[in-house]
């Protein structure tokens, strides 16, 4: 596919992840040339007739020397890499802060013009969770880099391949009761993946959106329990619910974190689940021209198989 957008090559990190996969597919369909940084050589899927717009470069954001070649000839970096759980080798500090710093340094050396960073809603100084604290520190590096930048802070993102609704589906379908964390009243503002992807594309073509930090949420502010109820309703499941008090969950999460490599919930996630995760619902319509999909409508698009 020939397109003028080919000249503005993008290096995208996190292409093999949930959000990255959707963004790459969309950008290719729109005619953008995208080079994806991948840790292992893989054949990334490309829509029909877009294969020549897609390149891969093997590299790891924690290994600065692996980034130089990947950034050669790149105009814009779209940096999506992030983790929600730590491992001994991949800590929040190492991935969010040091990894973003490595990428910024390599991008500056390579003459990159613009840097898009995917942070998370709730990133702020002195945040209680390490996830939010290190996202904030990474944001500060981006803002101080001297490059043109855009930072997105989405609330929880949902759509085919996500981790969040999959977790809700698990809770709803697995046992005889549906467990609810704490009082279940903490509000969130789920964003449909298709809307987030469109907002990224809009940013890439709209200079007026740059050098700003955007909080991105969907049209509905829903409590954790309301989201569980919506998932259950869409799946046609009726079961009793059981609220598990936070003081009971905390020691259990702590213990599981040490005992299993993949615990159902970590202490950091427990902290985040107690903090409201909401923002101005008018940003997507007013600033990005997007009429966002509601939570229930989004679920109906991919959860119901009828
Ligand atoms: N999902 C949400 O609801 C949500 C909400 C707000 C913000 N965010 C942010 O959005 C971003 C993308 O989220 P996601 O849900 O798509 O995450 P994801 O599915 O877990 O994908 C993470 C991606 O990062 C890559 N990666 C991890 N460590 C890396 C490293 N050292 N070097 C290079 N690549 C590395 C992974 O590659 P491998 O395949 O090699 O592991 C994968 O492609 C993250 O920064 C996240 O914090 C997500």
Do the beta carbons of residue 132 and residue 99 sit within 8 Å? no
Q: What is the pLDDT of residue 305?
A: 62
pLDDT tens-place string over residues 235-275: 999 999 999 999 999 998 888 888 888 888 899 999 999 99
Task: Find the 180 Cα to ligand 1 centroid distance in Å.
Answer: 26
> 176 CB contacts (<8 Å, ≥6 apart)?
239, 240
Question: What is the C-alpha to C-alpha distance for residues 35 and 112, in angstroms, rounded to an integer?
Answer: 14
Going along the chain from its start, the domains and CATH numbers come out as 4-154 (3.40.50.720), 159-191+219-276+291-306 (3.90.25)
Ligand 1 binding pocket, CB closer than 6 Å: 13-20, 37, 39, 60-62, 80-82, 95, 99, 118, 120, 154, 156-157, 164
Question: What is the C-alpha to C-alpha distance for residues 152 and 121, in angstroms, rounded to an integer?
Answer: 8
pLDDT above 70 (res 2): no
Nearest to 19 by CA among 96, 110, 118, 116: 118
pLDDT tens-place string over residues 13-37: 999 999 999 999 999 999 999 999 9
Question: What is the C-alpha to C-alpha distance for residues 227 and 277, in angstroms, rounded to an integer?
Answer: 13
Alpha carbon nearest to ligand 1 atom 13, residue: 19
Task: Find the 52 Cα to ligand 1 centroid distance in Å.
Answer: 25
Can you spell out the DSSP letters for 34-99?
EEEEESS-------TT-GGGEEEEE--TT-GGGTTGGGTT-SEEEE----SS--SSS-HIIIIIIH
Question: What is the C-alpha to C-alpha distance for residues 82 and 18, in angstroms, rounded to an integer?
Answer: 11
Task: Find the 19 Cα to ligand 1 centroid distance in Å.
Answer: 7
Counting ligand 1 atoms within 8 A of each CB, the residue from 67, 82, 156 with the most, and so the one to mutate, is 82
Question: What is the C-alpha to C-alpha distance for residues 154 and 214, in angstroms, rounded to an integer?
Answer: 8
Q: What is the pLDDT of residue 7?
A: 64
Question: What is the C-alpha to C-alpha distance for residues 90 and 197, in angstroms, rounded to an integer?
Answer: 26
Alpha carbon nearest to ligand 1 atom 28, residue: 81
pLDDT above 70 (res 134): yes
Q: How confident is the model at residue 164 (pLDDT cuts 50, 70, 90)?
A: very high
Give the position of tokens 């989201």: 227
Task: Find the 246 Cα to ligand 1 centroid distance in Å.
Answer: 27
pLDDT tens-place string over residues 45-101: 999 999 999 999 999 999 999 999 999 999 999 999 999 999 989 999 999 999 999
Do the beta carbons of residue 98 and residue 62 sit within 8 Å? yes
Task: Find the 95 Cα to ligand 1 centroid distance in Å.
Answer: 10
pLDDT tens-place string over residues 186-220: 999 999 999 999 999 999 999 999 999 999 999 99
Residue range 103-120: average pLDDT?
98
User: How high is the mean pLDDT of the chain?
Assistant: 95
pLDDT above 60 (res 4): no
Task: Find the 79 Cα to ligand 1 centroid distance in Å.
Answer: 9
Q: How confident is the model at residue 107 (pLDDT cuts 50, 70, 90)?
A: very high
pLDDT above 80 (res 1): no
């Amino acid at each position: 596919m020939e397109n003028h957008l080919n000249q503005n090559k993008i290096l995208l990190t996190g292409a093999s992840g949930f959000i990255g996969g959707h963004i790459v597919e969309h950008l290719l369909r729109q005619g953008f040339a995208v080079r994806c940084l991948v840790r292992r050589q893989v054949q990334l899927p490309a829509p029909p007739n877009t294969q020549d717009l897609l390149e891969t470069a093997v590299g790891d954001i924690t290994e600065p020397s692996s980034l130089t070649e990947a950034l050669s000839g790149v105009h814009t970096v779209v940096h999506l890499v992030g983790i929600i759980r730590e491992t001994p080798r991949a800590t929040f500090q190492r991935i969010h802060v040091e990894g973003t710093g490595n990428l910024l340094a390599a991008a500056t050396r390579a003459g990159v013009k613009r840097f898009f960073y995917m942070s998370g809603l709730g990133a702020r100084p002195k945040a209680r969770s390490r996830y939010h604290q290190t996202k904030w520190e990474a944001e500060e590096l981006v803002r101080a880099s001297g490059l043109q930048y855009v930072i997105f802070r989405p609330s929880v993102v949902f759509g085919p391949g996500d981790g969040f609704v999959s977790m809700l589906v698990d809770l709803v379908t697995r046992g005889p009761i549906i467990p609810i964390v704490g009082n279940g009243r903490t509000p969130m503002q789920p964003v449909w993946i298709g809307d987030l992807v469109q907002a990224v594309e809009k940013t890439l073509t709209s200079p007026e959106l740059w050098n700003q930090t955007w909080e991105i949420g969907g049209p509905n502010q829903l409590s954790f329990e309301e989201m569980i109820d919506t998932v259950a309703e869409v799946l046609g499941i009726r079961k009793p619910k059981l609220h598990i008090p936070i003081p009971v969950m905390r020691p259990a999460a702590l213990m599981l974190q040490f005992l299993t490599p993949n615990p159902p919930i970590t202490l950091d996630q427990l902290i985040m689940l107690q903090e409201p995760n909401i923002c101005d619902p008018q940003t997507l319509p007013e600033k990005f021209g997007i009429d966002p999909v509601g939570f229930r409508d989004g679920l109906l698009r991919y959860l119901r198989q009828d």
